[in-house]
């Protein structure tokens, strides 16, 4: 059986699981995202405490 590397990004405020990064895909637990236009950095909103958590994605559109 293959071991699957999973990176989990948690909210720094309440420790809720916000992003799960699996090989080949990134699962964002809450669909509310925002993009910082100049840099393309993406943040996801914590479902529990509404804090913004930076996610390992880049908006390139």
Q: Does 47 bind Zn ion (CB under 5 A)?
A: no
Binding mask 13-32 for Zn ion (x = CB under 5 A): xx-x----------------
- Tell me how far the alpha carbon of residue 43 is from its chain's centroid: 7
Q: Does 49 bind Zn ion (CB under 5 A)?
A: yes
Specify whether the CB–CB gap between 30 and 23 falls below 8 A: no
Indicate the residue among 11 and 28 with the shorter CB distance to Zn ion.
11
- Binding residues vs Zn ion (CB under 5 A): 11, 13-14, 16, 46, 48-49, 51
């Amino acid at each position: 059986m293959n071991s699957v590397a999973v990176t989990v990004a948690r909210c720094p405020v309440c420790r809720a699981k916000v992003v799960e990064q699996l090989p080949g895909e990134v699962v964002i637990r809450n669909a509310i995202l925002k993009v910082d236009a100049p840099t393309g950095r993406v943040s996801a909103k914590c479902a529990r405490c509404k804090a913004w958590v930076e996610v390992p994605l880049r908006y390139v559109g």
